Structure 1
Amino acid sequence: MPELQLLRHDHAAALLAFEQENRAYFGASVPDRGDEYFARFDARHSSLLAEQADGLCYFHVLVGDGDEVLGRVNLVDVADGSADLGYRIAEKAAGQGLATTAVRRICVLAATEYGLTALRASTTLDNAGSQAVLARTGFVRTGETVLDGHPGLSYERSLDADALLP
């Protein structure tokens, strides 16, 4: 089973490969990151690590055999005990339950390691897979939203550290 790791500087090459290999796949359900993202990847990676060091965000990679990145699970805009959850899984690893497992793990980390009490998430209306992951992991639909011009749904999940631990 892939390991969820807090993003580090040495993940950069594998993370860039993950993003490049899955660009078209991700683009089918979420807005494309654009060419600038890839052209300035190293600077962006360093910037993310600085935000993480400041406690503003927690970025994670799902690492498989040979240190291959199979997914990302991020907590951003950390403030007042809550954060926004975002995740993406490689096309070749989709449909294997990795997103559900990773979101469950991040909920535990958010509560026990980062001291968060709630998470928010959103997805486009046409992303049934992401909606299913959120439902399976205890998120409750709270309304409608717009994501980069596309209609979407918003979700929330309360975190109780004691209830999340096995």
Structure 2
Amino acid sequence: MPELQSLRADHAPALLAFELENRAYFAASIPDRGDEYFARFGERHRALLAEQEAGTCYFHVLVDPAGEVLGRVNLVDVADGGADLGYRIAERATGRGLATWGVREVCRRAAGTYGLTTLRAAAAVRNAASRAVLARTGFTVTGETVLSGRPALTYLRTLDTTTDRPAGAPPSS
């Protein structure tokens, strides 16, 4: 079973490998990060760690037992009890419920560890898989927007910080 880990400095090599290996796959549904992202990956990674240390973002990686990154689930623009959720799963790891599991785990951390009360997300209309993950994890559609020139939906998830789990979720067994 993969493990959800908070982003650390030593994740950099595996995270870069993940991003490079899946670059074309990701670019089919979300904007490509561009060559500059990869050329300056080390700098960017250190900047993300600084943002995390400051509490303005919380970055997570889904790591298999061998230390390979299978996905990312991030909370960005943390302010006023809320944050924006983003996630991506390796092509070879899709279709196994990993995105749903990772988003649920980050919702638990958002409520119980980070003290957040709401999460926002957006997904392109044509990205049915991402929209399904959001629906399965308790996000509701709140409106429409445009992501990189494509129609998209906006979502909201209210969290329950008193029980350390997403609002409306069954107790874990």
What range is the shorter-chain TM-score in? over 0.9
**Using the alignment, how far apart are the partners of 1:15 and 1:89 within structure 2?**
12
Shift of 1:65: 2.4
Matching residue of 1:56: 56
Is 1:106–2:106 an aligned residue pair? yes
Matching residue of 2:30: 30
Query: Under a length normalisation based on structure 1, what TM-score does the superposition of the two structures give?
Result: 0.98
Say which SS state the counterpart of residue 15 (structure 2) adopts: helix
Matching residue of 2:147: 147
Query: Under a length normalisation based on structure 2, what TM-score does the superposition of the two structures give?
Result: 0.94
Alignment of 1:17-166 (within 5 A): 17-161=17-161, 162=163, 164=166, 166=172
**Using the alignment, how far apart are the partners of 2:125 and 2:3 within structure 1?**
29
Identity, % of aligned pairs? 69
Deviations 1:23-47 (A, max 9, x none): 0000110000000000000000000
Paired AA for residue 88 in structure 1: R
**Using the alignment, how far apart are the partners of 2:150 and 2:73 within structure 1?**
22
Runs of 4+ aligned structure 1 residues displaced above 4 Å come to none
Say which SS state the counterpart of residue 111 (structure 1) adopts: helix
Shift of 1:55: 0.2
List alignment gaps of at least 5 residues for structure 1: none
**Using the alignment, how far apart are the partners of 1:145 and 1:64 within structure 2?**
34
Deviations 1:109-163 (A, max 9, x none): 0000000000000011110000000000000000001112211000000001325
Q: CA RMSD for the aligned pairs?
A: 0.8
The structure with more helix, counted as a fraction of residues: 1
List alignment gaps of at least 5 residues for structure 2: none
Number of residue pairs aligned between Structure 1 and Structure 2: 166
**Using the alignment, how far apart are the partners of 1:39 and 1:150 within structure 2?**
27
